[in-house]
Amino acid sequence: MIVVGVQPLASPFVGNGELIINGQSTGSLRWMPVDELVSLINTFSGDVVASLTSEGCLELSSDKSFTVTGNQDVLDVIGIV
């Protein structure tokens, strides 16, 4: 399964709130450098691997199904509908 945001991310991250992957929260992402955000997701999300596309969009991938939720502002900034 692959989920790709449609918005290129600026660093630091401007969304206000958290991203929740498989029930695990990143905590507040406001003003976090984007490379730190990717590292954070990779340290706690288990089977989900985060990376940035060549366009700078967040990509989440896994061999298994996973859920992505969070504050609407964060989802809007990433471009996950």
Q: Give the start-to-end residue ranges of the domains of the chain.
A: 2-78
How much is the pLDDT for 45? 64
Tell me: the pLDDT tens digits for 23-76? 999 999 999 999 999 999 999 867 899 999 999 999 999 999 999 999 999 999
pTM of the prediction?
A: 0.92
pLDDT the model gives residue 44:
84
Q: How many CB atoms lie within 10 A of CB 23?
A: 8
For residue 21, which amino acid is it?
I
43 vs 37: CA distance, rounded Å: 10
Q: Dump pLDDT digits (tens) for 8-25.
A: 999 999 999 999 999 999
Q: Kind of pairing, strands 2-4 and 19-21?
A: unpaired
